A and B are shown apart, each in its own frame.
Chain A
Amino acid sequence: MSDTGDGSARPPLFGPGSQFHELFDDPRWAPAMIRATVLEAAHPQIGAALIDNSTFVTHPWRRLRNTFLSLQRMFGADDQVRAKEAARLNRLHTRLRGRDANDRPYDATDPGVRAWVVATLFESAVTMCRMSGRPLPPSAVEQLYGEFRAYHAAFGDEAGQLPDSLPEFWSYYDRMVEEELENTEAMRIILYKLFDHLPAPPLLHGFPTLWALGRAVVGPAIGAITVASLPESFRRRAGLPELLGAGALMQGAYLTADLARFLPEGWLRAQNVADLLALSPGSDDPRARTVTALQERMRRAGALLRLVAPTSFPAAPAPPPSGRRSAEEFFRDVLDQTGDGYLTWPDLAAMARELCGRLDLDEPAETRLYDAFADWWRELQTALDTDGDGRVSAQEYAAAAPALAGPALIRTAEVLFDAADEDGNGRIDEAEYRALFRTAFHRDTAGDPETRTDTVYTRGAFVRDFLSFMSGRRLSTPYDPLLADA
């Protein structure tokens, strides 16, 4: 592979000039990524890991943004960034292991498993081009495969999991589809549940009706389109339904996505889309301000409508009692990150994972934070798991919620403070605060002098805020966009 000899400069494996970079902003990725994720989830080990640990059903937008950032780092031109990201993913993967419902072990660091993830990404990229009627030329496929092999190699797994040559890859791929893939629960959730319940991205929280309407139309279509794009042999074996016209719909979707290439340059940038989806209204980004302004106008129109309507008009649902949310809401919005209705270690691990990602933590700070969350989990389990089934249900939580701020939670707050206080001056200044919450200081004229006194956060104030949020006592702290938003 490294032998060229013809004298011409080889195209780079990563960054500008690579085949992946060519395809990066392609809107066909949207359906292709869903397809790749379904194929990943159909692998029994990956499916089990997703079911146990993943937050993608409850926090799909956050998850999408993290995936996007990670791919960008891994395929960028900077080798140092790539090495750092690979190390981060390796650490993250070592924390994802366990046993599935049939007591089969799963392990995210299994080299075969990781090879399959890379294989689905590569194959979906090739397929998205075929489906839209503009297949990649063989040389480009060859080049793209080389890049994905390099991506896999960056993790430091032993070679040989991904075949050396492209023909060998296709037989490996076909064998995996024929023999390894199953109709897993995770796959069914992605196909039939995720898009029907997809929460609105943070930016569109002000338009719940609009979102629900669009979702009701588009949600089932996404499932059908994805099924139609899966390998035929797998569809047959997994017993996935063949819907009349789904094939045509699928090709139409890929074609339409491909037509977007005629849009003026710069209109469709994956970066912009990902940023937009992750934006919180109220942040200082100009685009967020535009949307916020629009939401303001909608809000005012709604207010006027309510005021001039006759009093007998059923009033809008009462806003939650100021500044507090019920224990149940808090359980659903914040604690139950995996959305399975129970609080278990993976929920807290997901919070730790998100915080580590935000703060870009390295070892040993990352382990310290995980350990703190693990201690907190043991504390919660001891205090709340009254029926002894190893997990905490919403009822168990609601029954004991007031007594939650134990020593392990306080310790968690302190560890988080130390991690966020990068320069170690005992205060979280503006830059550190932004790194943690990533939304700007949205302070209106009335202000909320209770949460923050100035642009710095003292240890005491930070710990107190964290405790009052984590014990569900206060709404609308900076933690909401961090842990509660989708």
Chain B
Amino acid sequence: MIDVIEAARSAGVEWLSLYAFSTENWRRPDDEVAFLMELVRRAVRKHAPLLRARGIRCRFLGVTHPRIPPALAQDFADLTTLTGESRRMTLTVAFDHGGRRDIVAAARSLIRGGVPAEDVTEESFAAHLPFPDTPDVDLVIRTSGEQRISNFMLWQVAYAEWVFPPVLWPDFRAPHFLECLHTYQQRERRFGGVPPKQNGAP
């Protein structure tokens, strides 16, 4: 994981999101969930100083379920605090995340604020999503040969390019990432129109 983060940073990527755990993953067997939690916790603690040194702002999307161990939540909060000032790259870790839930939360927030229906625009709606400063996603890499969205940042991936490398996530390393980046650069992005625009780095 840290390998990929390093590769992205040196390739000039400014926004990187990782899907670590979905709201649906809670349905997995208890010991598997517990193992995953421990794995994430170890990774966070191990890499915290490096992430700080590299100027990577880390934040966690989701993280609301009461089943998240308090120690892990504390580590998440600590890492967010530790790297809060960094701006060279923003790493969003989606943990206990669900794209639909975020959209529902934004709708709730709008209704609570008493915003009249005709005042709701795509921009004003997006401002109520969690981490509203997140730009639209340019590229989604779905590893392990799976070809599903799996409820990931639904709003933000509207015009994303997708690549589906067959390699499994635990084996996914820097060269794989750069390969995906290269594939993306070859794509012609049209956003529904026909502008012959060349892709730059995301």
Contact = CB atoms under 8 A, between A and B. Distances in A.
B78 A453 contact: no
B101 interface: no
Interface residues of A, number: 27
Contacts of A318: 70, 74
A446 B82 CA distance: 16
30 contacts: A296-B85, A303-B78, A303-B79, A304-B52, A304-B78, A307-B44, A307-B48, A307-B49, A307-B75, A307-B78, A308-B48, A311-B41, A311-B45, A311-B71, A315-B70, A318-B70, A319-B74, A319-B77, A322-B64, A445-B131, A445-B133, A446-B130, A447-B132, A449-B109, A449-B127, A454-B113, A460-B114, A461-B113, A461-B114, A464-B112
Contact of B78 (A306, A322, A446, A452): A306
Contacts of B131: 445-446
A450 interface: yes
Interface residues of B, number: 29
Interface of B: 41, 44-45, 48-49, 52, 64, 70-71, 74-75, 77-79, 81-82, 84-85, 109, 112-115, 127-128, 130-133
Contact of A300 (B84, B115, B133): B84
Interface in A255-311: 296, 299-300, 302-304, 306-308, 311
B74 A315 contact: yes
B83 to A, nearest CB: 8
Contacts of A450: 109, 112-113
B74 A453 contact: no
Contacts of B45: 307-308, 311
A327 to B, nearest CB: 19
A315 B128 CA distance: 33
B82 A303 contact: yes
Residue of A299, A300, A454 with most partner-chain B CB within 10 A: A300
Nearest to A454: B113
A105 to B, nearest CB: 50
Contact of B81 (A299, A311, A446, A452): A299
A458 interface: yes
A311 B48 CA distance: 14
Contacts of A1: none
Contacts of B115: 453
A316 B133 CA distance: 31
Contacts of B70: 315, 318
